[in-house]
Structure 1
């Protein structure tokens, strides 16, 4: 992609973001080769960068809030001070990437987990602040994905505690499970 085309896409995307999706157009950079591109400070919030090659790109200070980076190659990319809140990073290659402090991608769990800037945690399709995750009621967790979410929630809190330090857990986690009592 030449730089003039990229500038046009970024301008249209900026208009799309600032007009709250009323005008302009969302940046669709799926599978584009943007390796070694200077995107320092770019506003790519909500952009589709899935499968894009961003290896070695300078994304420092970029707004990638809510961007789709699924399967993107971010190997060696500079993401220092980038806002990755709510970004979808499943399958992204982050080898050697310079990530913001307190940003983690946890693989091998029931749900894909991303901790961004030590403030937001995405588990599966749910993205909430650390404090929100620590205070959810049993009913709120069940609404997310039923029994699967209820079984996984204590594990998620342990993961959050491990990466960000121990914090409070809702009291209902210490209550006996009524279904288990009825079976016994």
Structure 2
């Protein structure tokens, strides 16, 4: 105990002694001078008064004792405190005093936790499987060396428990039976939010031929995943990362891919009917023979994408970036491409019947043998566009710029609708029937 604390105690004891003696002396003097009272009565009065004083000072003493006990506890020697904590909690001394503390190596406990979680993953109760999936996620975070093994196990769990239904199975099922099971959704969630920095190079998640109808994969990381032949109808892919993923022959009918990243994704023969792809990144994506009928690609980026022989009938591509896109042989009938950028796009033999191309940029695009019957090309930019044998009957060219267009013949524009605002190549005259 320090010298300061010793002096404090000594001073308090002296004060207590003086305070206690003073009332005792005063009481005795007071009662000794009273006349007409017997000695026996004086003794009784003095005894009662002293009892009251003793109670008061007893309480005071208890308070003082509690005060110094707390002060002594706070001033306990550090080594003594450390020793006490070690005995009660089993802590290392360095932990108690905060010096050179080293986190326990959780990887040492991973094998035991891993075995238990795998055992629970095969449990019949869904709540047990649910807990096992989260336990595996925790292990993957604590033990990076087990990260990829756990992701592969969860992917295998999904493949085994959510396979695509066979064609000969009864397609009419109740809503309850078709609902995505909770454990499958949980496994997908864990995979989707994994730390992809721990993924081995050239390793891919295998979720092929799975039925993930109605899954919630918002913001999920499925980059480079293999989803060949999967049923992805009505899936929420908002802002999901599907870059370089293999989505060959998948069914994405009704899914939402708003702001999703599909850069360099592989989607040949995929079904994207009615899919929401607004502001999605599909640059350099492969979509040949894909069905995008009625799809919404407003403000999407498809620069350099391949849509050879794709079906985009009635699709909405307003303000989309379609620079350099290969639409050769594609069906764009009644599609909306108002304000879209089709610069250097390949539309050879494409069906553009009744398509909306007003204010679109078709500069240097290749429209050879394209069908532009009743196409709306008001104020479109067709500078340097290849229109060899393009069918322009009833195509509206009002305000369109066709200067320097290649292979444009008088017979073609005579079938079209235009006016004095239409800019034609220097070698062609404005048809007489144009207003």
Larger Rg, first or second structure (1 or 2): 2
Contact 2:288/2:308, CA 8 A, preserved across alignment? no
CA RMSD of aligned residues (A): 4.2
Aligned counterpart, 1:46: 244
Distance 1:77 1:117 in 2: 18
Contact 1:38/1:58, CA 8 A, preserved across alignment? yes
Aligned counterpart, 2:263: 65
Give per-residue Cα distances to partners, 1:38-96, cap 9 Å, x unaligned. 00000111100111111111101001111011111111111111111111111211122
Distance 1:86 1:62 in 2: 14
The structure with the largest strand share of the pair is: 1
Aligned counterpart, 2:97: none
The structure with the largest helix share of the pair is: 2
Q: What does residue range 24-35 of structure 1 map to in structure 2 within 5 Å?
A: 25=204, 26-35=224-233
Distance 2:253 2:366 in 1: 32
Pairing 1:107–2:309 present: yes
**How far did residue 107 of structure 1 move?**
3.3
**How far did residue 157 of structure 1 move?**
2.2
**How far did residue 123 of structure 1 move?**
6.6
**Number of residues paired by the alignment?**
138
Aligned counterpart, 1:87: 285
Q: Under a length normalisation based on structure 1, what TM-score does the superposition of the two structures give?
A: 0.56
Q: Which has the higher contact order (CA 8 A, sep 6+)?
A: 1
**Cα 1:49/1:8, change in 2 over 3 Å:** farther
Distance 1:39 1:117 in 2: 21
Aligned counterpart, 1:15: 196
Contact 1:59/1:80, CA 8 A, preserved across alignment? yes
Distance 1:106 1:30 in 2: 20
**How far did residue 158 of structure 1 move?**
2.9
Contact 1:9/1:27, CA 8 A, preserved across alignment? no
Distance 2:262 2:298 in 1: 12
Aligned counterpart, 2:352: none
Aligned counterpart, 1:138: none
Contact 1:77/1:98, CA 8 A, preserved across alignment? yes
Q: What stretches of structure 2 of length at least 5 have no aligned partner? A: 1-161, 163-183, 205-223, 311-316, 329-340, 346-363, 386-403, 408-435
Classify the secondary structure of the residue corresponding to 2:367: helix
**How far did residue 6 of structure 1 move?**
3.2
Aligned counterpart, 1:157: 366
Pairing 1:118–2:322 present: yes
Contact 2:321/2:342, CA 8 A, preserved across alignment? no
Contact 2:254/2:275, CA 8 A, preserved across alignment? yes
Distance 1:39 1:51 in 2: 17
Distance 2:191 2:384 in 1: 44
Contact 2:365/2:382, CA 8 A, preserved across alignment? no
Q: Under a length normalisation based on structure 2, what TM-score does the superposition of the two structures give?
A: 0.26
Give per-residue Cα distances to partners, 1:86-114, cap 9 Å, x unaligned. 11111211122111347695639xxxxxx
Aligned counterpart, 2:28: none
Distance 1:23 1:11 in 2: 19
Distance 2:255 2:187 in 1: 17
